[in-house]
Chain A
């Protein structure tokens, strides 16, 4: 099918530079919750950055794992033959299509004898093959017409050694009322959290059963009350975080829900859905030492009960980002959400560390979505109550002047630095 292209007339508009056409793009090859086989790609900008040579998106793969990335025939015919190559098969190898075989614009069915699986249309299947003990990067190239034909697109692939975070789950009974979250649910949650963090080469392993903790003397049974003090100074929250932490693990504390006495923008004080989770890194704990009558800021994540496994997993993944020193990706400086925040746009909604505050369904045709806090669908599906789920991308291209632009590197470094482990 022909592609329509409008050109500006240089006689009417003298001084124009030549028009550019980019025939091929890349995109995430799945929709819905993070899929370990089809990660999201960091396609913010196209310049070469400090972390690698790709003039295109960057995607991460764990050593010995296989992922797929979709090739988008943006301005090229679907019948045009496209071939794929890797600059270094010892870092990431092309599993499909095989060498010398063109990408198929149609799904390739599984072999009838089961010898090969189904392959999705126009997808590059890559395997992390690097045996290095540090991150290695390679360029994947798309060629026109033949295996050695002109390069029409580049994809940066980072192959990561696998890192595993061990998780200790705690069930916190407050004034005699405990959470409904069970160890089985926790395991489900962290399997999904592993799907999110696979893009950074990190997975999670829940160790042992749910450790029972008992606290009394809180303001409300089953609830952690949040007051005007910074949460790093909130006595009830910090009391929970200081309950028998395992010093070699990420500690995840579960209880009924939070009671927020301060922020009523989403509902009356104590509205259960207002706060889903709160987390701290070791860096924050160091900045808030224990004083008389105050336990000191703990390290780990706290989560309220949730009936929706996707909500619980997404929230846990977001909070773990905080425990790994990530701030919100808003305005480039981690500022929590403010109405009119112009960074609440596609990237913020695709990024795991965007802001949840005041995100409500609203008609983007009426209010410009990028500054209206509208919860737009960026392909991650919906929660059980119908709200669209925002994204789970961790950025991977370092760009000067952009706050925490290399989130994957920061998270991996924080991991190795024990940022999520109690002091």
Chain B
């Protein structure tokens, strides 16, 4: 497709066009930016997907600006896209934009993008922004990011939070642990291994198969490659032996 055809397909809400962005020329980003004010919300969302697929020079900056869209659906698509591009805008620029974003989910995504750099030079700057964060959901994402950036206080608090987790926090914390990717932090899930509270369905409406907190702890250990004989290789209701093996492996980890 030519650039003009892509522009028109976006305006016509043709979602098959997203893959076309991949081969688009360097001028694509500027072309899309010029169209945004004339696009409706669905077209702007589709445009964000196309820019992320294009992944050309300037895609990151354009997507960061699109995270300020008044429509949360567009802003979220831009935030997701920003997480996929190869070249991010300068991290301090991203951090500076976070407090200006109304939608807590978008702020959360930006925290995660900064955290994924794992670059400790951004720790203090991000801490200053997180201090003013009032959304519980975005705070969670911010905490993950600060741990990823090497914040020792935040790491200690996170360990406690994991150790004291309630069942409905388990899956969120599981995702955080996998994203942080530090096996030593998984040791904080030791209390989960003796908790049989239901967390997430693995059955269906008519078969009450629910993964338990202990199962989520085992699954987390599996994904973090903590040495233990874990079968099956997917989230399941694990046997007492598997749970015991994981407990032993976690206990052997350094703090």
Contacts and interface: CB of A to CB of B under 8 A. Distances in A.
B72 A403 contact: no
Most B-side CB within 10 Å, residue of A132, A277, A287: A287
B49 interface: yes
A401 interface: yes
A134 B104 contact: yes
B200 A133 contact: no
B29 to A, nearest CB: 20
B90 interface: no
A377 interface: no
Nearest to B74: A133
Nearest to B104: A134
Main secondary structure of the interface of B (DSSP, over half): mixed
B255 interface: no
B105 A416 contact: yes
Interface residues of B, number: 44
A230 B203 contact: yes
A334 B198 contact: yes
A134 B103 contact: yes
Contacts of B71: 133, 161
Interface in A262-309: 262-263, 274-278, 283-284, 287-289, 291
A391 to B, nearest CB: 16
Interface stretch (B30-38, B113-121, B163-171): B163-171
Contacts, number: 134
Interface stretch (A12-20, A144-152, A170-178, A335-343): A335-343
Contacts of A230: 202-204, 207, 209, 236
B27 interface: no
A311 interface: no
A333 B169 CA distance: 11
Given A230-B236, A248-B18, A416-B73, A404 B168 contact: yes
B15 A50 contact: no
A221 interface: no
B59 interface: no
Contact of B166 (A233, A328, A334, A401): A401
B207 A231 contact: yes
Interface of B: 15, 18, 42, 49, 69-73, 75-76, 80, 102-106, 136-137, 166-168, 171, 175, 197-211, 219, 233-236
Interface of A: 50, 131-134, 161, 163-164, 166, 207, 226, 230-233, 246, 248-249, 260, 262-263, 274-278, 283-284, 287-289, 291, 322, 325, 327-328, 333-338, 355-357, 401, 403-404, 409, 412-413, 415-418
